[in-house]
Amino acid sequence: MQVDRYERFWMWAATGMLALFLVAIVVTAVSGGAHPPSHVETIDPETLDVATEFATPGIRTAPDGGLTVVMRAEFYAFKPDVVRLPVGRPVRFRITSPDVLHGFQIVGTNVNLTVAPGYVSEATTTFTTPGEYLVVCNEYCGLGHHNMYSTIVVEAAP
Amino acid sequence: MTPAVRLVLSHVWVAVAAFAVGALMAVMQALARAGVELPFGTANLYYLSVTAHGVLLALVFTTFFIMALGYLVVETTLGRIVGSAWAWAGFWLASIGTVITTVAILSGTSTVLYTFYPPLLAHPAFYIGATLLVAGSWVWCGVMIASFVSWRRANRGARPPLAAHGMLTTVIIWILATTGLAVEVVVLILPWSVGLVDRIDPIVARTYFWWFGHPLTYFWLVPAYVLWYTMIPRVAGGKLFSDALTRVVFIQFILFSTPVGFHHQFTDPGIAGGWKLLHTFTTYAIMFPSLVTAFTVTASLEHAGRVRGGTGTFGWIGKLPWRDPFFSSVALSMVTFALGGFGGAINAAYAMNAMIHNTAWVQGHFHLTVGTAVTLSFMGFSYWMLPRVTGRALVWPRVAAVQPYLWFVGMQLFSIPSHIAGLMGMPRRVYTGEFHGVEAAQAWIPLVNISAAGGVILFVSAMCWVGVLAGTMFVMPRGATRPIEYAEPLVAPAGGASLWDRLGLWTAVAVVLIIIAYAQPLYHLHTMARFPSRGFSPF
């Protein structure tokens, strides 16, 4: 096929640019652990209140000091709706829904999860700046969707 | 009016009517979000109108317009529409489906947005109407393929006209895409919505939806590319830079438009990261043909500008026919698509996606792409096509000449602030972005107001388009029709059909790629211990 010289050059440049993007993605994934949330775990959404960790959402501290926030996203609130966390420590969020799809996005961070009934979503982050963080639902969930938000208060180390 | 023109225009008018209603919904949403007190401004009506806007514009307007373009192209390049009785049956099927779905939405029983993610449960009529719309479009696919096969039998070994090649590409992408949708709607949702089955798995349903949802965007885009490649060079006064490479571009869309759906599901639980990474690679592959398009079409325009006497590095740009609404629409579409394309590279980025997923960024993105690159190209094309096929001159040519610029300005005002608000964390699809005055939300309120101003300009532009088309049809006298003419290639391709004209072969390769991308993750999803949901209708 006859391809113009400049067009050939352009196609190599385009290939190079896309390759560069992909290399950046793979390198940050492998070396920096930059992955999308992809936790695979299922749970019965109709028995959350019966003997699951989601019956009593809240902060759990493991014996080794690791922090886990167990949360529920449901018509139109996150539970607990205020979470107090220390600055500078890794925190794992575990969240599920007893009803429809919801979103769990901590504004100002890269924590952004789809919350689906029947599945547990997970994200881990470390808050480096104290302050109040807004959490919003970013997946349409019904007529109260825009009222579904909560707060994370990150407190400076004592 | 010839039977083919009547068929084409019937589809166009349904598209225009759906567009007019959808545009009215849009301006109400933009104003409601900016906090303007509307007499009917309730959350209930807001989400209802978002549903109607999405369905009527993204599904009905596009599908009917693309069906019209497909029929026009096979009629004018292949000289035939084989099975026109079927074509009319498809038209009525799709039209009835549209009416059923629209009534279901307007009745308030189906406020599930156009993505209708289960376990949100709409009235069964919503899904039944949508199924009929898609069934009608499948009849269109059948007629398009029959016309192409008939032409090829009569012209053994000949190179198919480029525009027909592009529209058949569109047909193939649509068939590959809607296979996923058919599984979701017919197998999973319909039995559940009428109560035959009481539970549905939301992640499985989403996976089939996004099998459909991304090639859907190429079903919109490839017809716009057909206009850019095969008509605009001639409208601009030049020739197509490369016929052979254009065919390669179309084939790449067949190959890579479908095995990419997980880049819409990066934040989903239940799907392992490795598969998401694979779909990242295929998504970046599909940026390649669009980058080639940017070169080829721009080079064609440069050639046209130089034929018109333009000199120097940029002198050719000013010589192009900027007052011709078809030309200006496409040129502005291309500029806008360059912005949208780079935004798309961020959407598709494996980990960076988390910064923008389901934020206002996303609505900014697809209003640049489908909402401008595709829609504005179609608008411009209709100004060019309607006088040719009906013999009626445009009723208000000056309005038509200004309208594309209004659309462009309105859309930049709408979309760029949406992108910025999204980066700041504002979610999409919210009735109000105020969140009861919390501090983080204050920063994005001015941006929402700029978007609303853009929305008003867009509405004015939309009404100009609808008004010019309707006025031309109802007011202007009928005159002599003119042929639909296609751009000549700069270098006439040698020989007959090439490897890149073997649409069946490439479709088979595309199916293999879909199997590689989806077989294992779907098998895993279907076989793991799951807890499907009953339906909810919180509206």
**In this complex, do A114 and B291 lie within 8 Å of one another by their Cβ atoms?**
no
Domain count of chain A?
2
Is B65 an active-site residue?
A: no
- Interface membership of B344 toward A (CB under 8 Å): no
Q: Which residues contact B95 (CB under 8 A, 6 or more apart)?
A: B14, B136
Q: Are the beta carbons of A148 and A134 closer than 8 angstroms? A: no
pLDDT for position B138: 98
The pLDDT score that the predictor gives to residue A96 is: 97
Confirm whether B96 is domain-assigned. Answer: yes
**Are B420 and B518 members of one domain?**
no
A16 touches B285 (CB < 8 A) = no
Residues ≥6 apart with Cβ < 8 Å to B177: B211, B212, B214, B215, B216, B219, B257, B258
Compute the C-alpha angle B120/B125/B128, nearest 5°. Answer: 95
Q: What is the mean pLDDT of residues B47-75?
A: 97
- Give the model's pLDDT for residue A65: 85
Contacts of B265 in chain A (CB under 8 A): 114
Name the pLDDT band for A158 (thresholds 50, 70, 90): low
Query: Which chain A residues touch B530 with a CB distance below 8 Å?
Result: 42, 118
Q: Please tell me which of the candidates A1, A110, A120 has its beta carbon nearest to residue B269.
A: A120
B105-144: per-residue pLDDT in tens? 999 999 999 999 999 999 999 999 999 999 999 999 999 9
Instruction: Annotate B362-431 with DSSP letters as a single string.
Output: HHHHHHHIIIIIIHHHHHHHHHHHHHHHH-PPPS-HHHHHHHHHHHHHHHHHHHHHHHHHHHTTPBSS-S
- On whether any CB of chain A is under 8 Å from the CB of B314, the answer is no
Q: Are A73 and A142 within 8 A, CB to CB?
A: no
Last-in-domain residue among B134, B154, B174: B154
Contacts of B201 in chain A (CB under 8 A): 118
Instruction: Give me the pLDDT at residue A10, please.
Output: 94
Please report residues of A whose CB lies closer than 8 A to that of B296.
7
Residue B183: inside a domain: yes
Active site residue B279: no
**What's the gap in Å between the CA of A34 and the closest CA on chain B?**
6
Could you tell me if B495 lies within 8 Å of chain A, comparing CB atoms? Answer: no
* Structural domain contains residue A40: no
- State whether B125 and B166 are in the same domain: no
**B223-252, pLDDT tens digit by residue?**
999 999 999 999 999 999 999 999 999 999
User: Domain tally for chain B?
Assistant: 3
3-state secondary structure of A58: strand
Contact (CB<8Å) A28/B351: yes
B430/B179 Cα distance (integer angstroms)? 31
Q: Which of B92, B78, B79, B98 is nearest to B7 (CA)?
A: B92
3-class DSSP state of A153: strand
Contact status, residue B162 vs residue B249, Cβ threshold 8 Å: no
Which among B390, B385, B394, B407 has a CA at the least distance from the CA of B328?
Answer: B407
B445, B446, B451, B455: CA torsion to nearest 10: 90
Distinct helix (H) and strand (E) counts, chain A: 1, 10
Residues B18 and B150 grouped into a single domain: yes
B428 is catalytic: yes
Cα distances from B515 to residues B147, B260, B272, in angstroms, run 29, 12, 17
**Three-state SS at B86:** helix
The closest of B380, B392, B397, B450 to B421, measured between CA atoms, is: B450
DSSP at A154 = E
Q: Is B358 on the interface with A (CB under 8 A)?
A: yes
Contact B262, B320 (CB under 8 A): no
Q: How confident is the model at residue B158 (pLDDT cuts 50, 70, 90)?
A: very high
Same domain, B217 and B271: yes
Residue type present at position B98: T
Judgement on whether residues B216 and B274 belong to the same structural domain of the protein? yes
For residues B311 and B328, membership in a common domain is answered with no
Domain boundary among B154, B181, B209: B154
Do residue A34 and residue B351 have CB atoms under 8 angstroms apart?
Answer: yes
State whether residue B298 sits within 8 Å of chain A by CB: no
Task: Return the higher-pLDDT residue of B94 and A65.
Answer: B94
Q: Which one of B154, B171, B204 terminates a domain?
A: B154
Three-point CA angle B44, B435, B343, nearest 5°: 90
Interface of B with A in 511-530 (CB under 8 A): 528-530
Residue of B80, B388, B429, B530 marked active site = B429
| Same domain, yes or no: A80 and A126 | yes
Q: Do residues B235 and B297 make contact, with C-beta atoms less than 8 angstroms apart?
A: no
Identify all chain B residues contacting A28, using CB atoms and an 8 Å cutoff.
351
In a domain, A98, yes or no: yes
DSSP type of residue A116:
-
A-chain CB neighbours of B292 within 8 Å are 7, 10-11, 14
Is residue B207 located within the same domain as residue B120?
no
- Burial grade of B5 (CB within 10 A; 0-12, 13-18, 19 or more): middle
Mark whether A81 and A106 lie in a shared domain: yes
Tell me the three state secondary structure of residue B65: helix
Query: What's the predicted TM-score (pTM) here?
Result: 0.96
Active-site position among B11, B33, B279, B365: B365
Can you tell me the mean pLDDT for B76-98? 97
Is residue B521 a contact partner of residue B204, using CB atoms and an 8 Å limit?
Answer: no
Q: Are B513 and B172 in contact (CB under 8 A)?
A: no
Residues in B closer than 8 angstroms to A7, CB to CB, are: 241-242, 245, 292, 295-296, 299
Do A71 and A18 share a structural domain? no
Average pLDDT of span B319-336:
97
ipTM (interface pTM): 0.95
* Spatial separation of the C-alpha atoms in residues B43 and B432, rounded to whole Å: 9
For chain B, what's the residue count? 539
Task: Please give, one letter per residue, the 3-state secondary structure of B339-364.
Answer: HHHHHHHHHCCCCHHHHCCCEHHHHH
- C-alpha distances (whole Å) from A34 to each of A30, A37, B248, B375 are 7, 9, 34, 36
Length of chain A: 158
Q: Which H or E element spans position A125? A: strand A121-126
Residue A125 lies in a domain: yes
- Give the active site residue among B19, B127, B218, B337: B218
| pLDDT value for A18 | 96
The answer to whether residue B493 sits within a structural domain is no
Q: What is the domain range of residue A145?
A: 45-155
Task: Tell me, yes or no, whether B34 and B54 share the same domain.
Answer: yes
Question: Do both A66 and A128 map to the same domain?
Answer: yes
| A66 plus A93 within the same structural domain | yes
Do the Cβ atoms of B350 and A137 come within 8 Å?
no
**A81 and A144 share a domain?**
yes
Instruction: Tell me which chain B residues have a C-beta less than 8 angstroms from the C-beta of A108.
Output: 425, 440
Closest chain A C-alpha to B352 CA, distance in angstroms: 8
What pLDDT, in 10s, does the model give residues B409-465? 999 999 999 999 999 999 999 988 888 888 888 989 999 999 999 999 999 999 999
For residue A27, give how far its alpha carbon lies from the nearest alpha carbon of chain B (Å): 11
- Hey, are the CB atoms on B539 and A143 less than 8 Å from each other? yes
* pLDDT of B491 over the 90 cut: no
Cβ separation of B202 and A108 shorter than 8 Å? no
Strand partners, A78: A73
User: Do B280 and B329 sit in the same domain of this protein?
Assistant: no
Residues 6+ apart with CB under 8 A from B74: B80, B81, B144, B147, B148, B151, B164, B167
Cα distances (angstroms) measured from residue B150 to each of B87, B88, B138, B154: 16, 19, 18, 6
The mean pLDDT of chain A is 94
Are both A92 and A50 inside the same structural domain?
A: yes
Q: Where are the alpha helices (DSSP H) in B242-374?
A: 243-256, 273-285, 287-307, 315-318, 325-347, 360-368
Token pair of B349 as six digits: 């980025």
Q: Percent of chain B beyond pLDDT 70?
A: 100
Q: Are residues A118 and A89 in the same domain?
A: yes
Which three-class secondary structure state does DSSP give residue A103? strand
Residue environment code for B140-176, b if the CB has 16+ CB neighbours within 10 A, otherwise e = bbbbbbbbbebbbeeeeeebbbbbbbbbbbbbbbbbb
Q: Do residue A49 and residue A119 come from a single domain?
A: yes
Q: How confident is the model over A89-102, as pLDDT tens digits?
A: 999 999 999 999 99
Residues 6 or more apart from A93 whose CB is under 8 A from it?
A: A68, A69, A71, A104, A111, A113, A121, A122, A123, A124, A125
Instruction: Select from B349, B430, B438 the Cβ nearest to the Cβ of A145.
Output: B430
- Residue B490 domain-assigned? no
Q: What is the pLDDT of residues B350-386, one digit of tens each?
A: 999 999 999 999 999 999 999 999 999 999 999 999 9
Task: Confirm whether B306 is a catalytic residue.
Answer: no
CA dist A70 to A59, A78, A103, A107, Å?
6, 11, 15, 19
Note whether B287 contacts A38, CB cutoff 8 Å: no
Residues A99 and A23 occupy one common structural domain:
no
Whether residue B430 is found in the same domain as residue B291: no
Q: Which is catalytic among the residues B33, B206, B214, B303?
A: B214
- With residue B139 as reference, give the H or E element that holds it: helix B124-154
Q: Are residues B298 and B337 in the same domain?
A: no
CATH code assigned at A146: 2.60.40.420
Using the beta-carbon criterion (under 8 Å), do A114 and B267 form an inter-chain contact? yes
Q: Are residues A19 and A84 in the same domain?
A: no
Q: Which of A30-34, B122-126, B187-191 has the lowest mean pLDDT?
A: A30-34
Residues B150 and B165 in one domain: no
Catalytic (active site) residue B366: yes
* Residue A50 touches partner B, C-beta closer than 8 Å: no
Contact criterion met (CB < 8 Å) for A116 and B271: no
In which domain, by residue range, is B518 found? 159-230+237-320+501-528
